[in-house]
Amino acid sequence: MNTKDIITLAIESSCDETACSILKNGREVLSNIISTQIDIHKKFGGVVPEVASRKHIENIDIVVQQALEEANVDFGDITHVAVTYGPGLVGALLVGLSYAKMLAFTLGIPLVGVNHIEGHLSANYIEHKELKPPFITLIVSGGHTHLVEVKDYGKYEIIGKTKDDASGEAFDKIARAMNLGYPGGPIVDKLAENGNPNAVNFPRACIHEEGYDFSFSGLKSSVLNYLNSMKMKNIEIIPEDVCASFQAAVIDVLVYKTIKACKDKKYNTVTLSGGVASNSALRKKMEEECYKSGLNLKYPPLVLCTDNAAMIGCAGYYRYKNERRDGMDLNAVPNLKINQG
């Protein structure tokens, strides 16, 4: 390792993944260890915050040791520690944050707090080495649905967001109502591959509204009403068709608003990020529409779409370069906004 290299040790524990990653100069991932609790929370049909915090405590040390080993790096090689401090579940965030503070303090190196949403969009910098701002990004995850202008590293303007449910939340709720399992997104995605997206005409909320906001709770109610009315009439539903029709309604709005924002604001690059960016139909439709409109589309590989620490390390690297430093008083901020810290 060159002495000028900046080595980031990044920690993520905002929800149900305990993760640690080591990066060289922000965009080169030396290790990316993710310990997921999905199997534990599956039994409850969703993340149980108290259980998530306890599991983070059990896992964090193991995950950090593995990340160091796999990267072939010692504590002495680390330049700074980057850690998610919001948004997320407060108890879960505090585990990673306390561990990161302990490391930074004992090693005598800077602590850099990272915004989880900024982490998601930064996953694209890791995969696409040539990518640099400005561009438009669509951040779609279990907790967030944001359309953001990335004006520079660390400079964001939110131009659209969901008024109610996040897009991933809608996938999870529909899957739950259909008893498909948790998390719902990947299951709905898979079933939808063999379904007819035109089988049921679910609403495309906000599509004709001014601006770039989204809304998914009406769509969710519409799917629930459909399921109930079919049950009352004793008509068996075709899960593949319901999944494909629901998914198409989500995707149509996401794609339409993203392309419109790019055209209105004269951007030629668009990126996708967050767990829902793994969705195969979203990637395909966005690809087709970007191609038609002459826009460049970038998205991360699947492992960098859902929660991971490499994306936190990349965002943390740019924060470090921009002189961001946090003290031992850094607290978890469960509802931190992308442009607020």
Contact between 275 and 306 under an 8 Å Cβ cutoff? The reply is: yes
| 216/171 Cα distance (integer angstroms) | 10
Contact status: 195 vs ligand KG4 (CB under 6 A): no
- Residue number with CB closer to ligand KG4 (86 or 274): 274
Tokens 């993340």 belong to residue: 47
Residue 181 labeled ligand binder? no
Provide, rounded to whole angstroms, the least separation between the CB of residue 338 and ligand KG4: 12
Of the candidate residues 86, 91, 96, 143, the single one contacting ligand KG4 (CB under 6 A): 143
Contact between 314 and 112 under an 8 Å Cβ cutoff? The reply is: no
Residue 217 labeled ligand binder? no
| 211/204 Cα distance (integer angstroms) | 15
Site map 255..274 versus ligand KG4, x via CB under 6 A: -------------------x
Residues 302-331 close enough to bind ligand KG4 by CB under 6 A? 306-307
| 211/192 Cα distance (integer angstroms) | 29
Residue 90: burial class (beta carbons within 10 Å; 0-12, 13-18, 19+): middle
Site map 94..133 versus ligand KG4, x via CB under 6 A: ----------------------------------------
Residues 147-176 close enough to bind ligand KG4 by CB under 6 A? 168, 171-172
**Residue 189 touches which of ligand KG4, Zn ion, none (Cβ within 5-8 Å per kind):** ligand KG4
The footprint of Zn ion (CB under 5 A) covers 141, 307
The footprint of ligand KG4 (CB under 6 A) covers 15, 141-143, 168, 171-172, 183-186, 189, 274-276, 278-279, 306-307
